[in-house]
Amino acid sequence: MESHLFSKDQKYMKIALWLSAFTILVNLVEGGFSTFFGAQDETLALFGFGIDSFVEVISAVGITMMLVRTFRNPDSTRSSFEGLALKMTGVGFYLLTAGLVVTSILSLINQQRPETTLMGIIISLISLSVMIFLYRAKLKTGRELNSAAIIADANCTKTCIYMSVVLLVSSLTFALTNFGLLDVLGALGIAWFAFNEGNEAFEKARGIHKDCCN
């Protein structure tokens, strides 16, 4: 019976590692396309969404390192790299928040408008489908392993779903109404989520969220 449970845990730990690696790949691709088209089409919401994806990579690398450590030695303690990755993630989110707020203000002053938000619609729809899959898979894996850390990572992925919804709504409504303020509101919505994620990253780094320290 014990060997069966151990085999099951090994199976789901491997799944968790694959999901984490896939998350890194998705965020790199998503970030590249979003920042490129965001800059090209002058849409703040899409550009900010792309930068957020790159920041998420740092967090995902920290989670991957934790999973590798746990896979090799379940009784090991969190490495200094994991804490550093969380702090770097927090700083990245704060910088993203500040940048989006400042550029949103400048955009309002200069009455800047996106050329098109078509790519924002396409990218957000793809992101939504991928992130929903990742969220469900991570949640199932976390529950099977009884791992609060993996479940917490799933909740971080859920935040990405919310951000994709913000991008989709702002991009779609701009495409329908051509109202420039909607892109700024979308960027500020992403900034709000980024700020909250920054707070959470530092709380985890300080060990306030015990579920991410195991």
Residue 46 CA from chain centroid, whole number? 14
Residue with tokens 């729809």: 125
Q: Which two tokens stand for residue 116?
A: 């098109």
Could you identify the residue written with the tokens 């909250």? 196
Other beta carbons less than 10 A from residue 89's beta carbon: 26
What tens digit of pLDDT does each residue of 95-112 get? 889 988 988 888 888 777
Phi-psi region of 198 (alpha: psi -120 to 50; beta: other; left: phi over 0): alpha
Each residue's pLDDT tens digit, 137-176: 999 998 988 877 788 778 778 888 999 999 999 999 999 9
Question: Mean pLDDT lowest for which of 3-7, 31-35, 54-58, 102-106?
Answer: 3-7
- Give the closest residue to 114 by CA, choosing from 186, 42, 58: 42
pLDDT (0 to 100) of residue 75? 62
Query: Residues with Cβ < 8 Å from 210, sequence gap 6 or more?
Result: 148
Instruction: State whether CATH 1.10.3470 applies to domain 2-73+80-212.
Output: no
Of 78-82, 147-151, 175-179, the poorest mean pLDDT is in: 78-82
Phi-psi domain of 111 (left: phi exceeds 0; alpha: psi -120 through 50; beta: other): left
Single pTM value for the model: 0.81
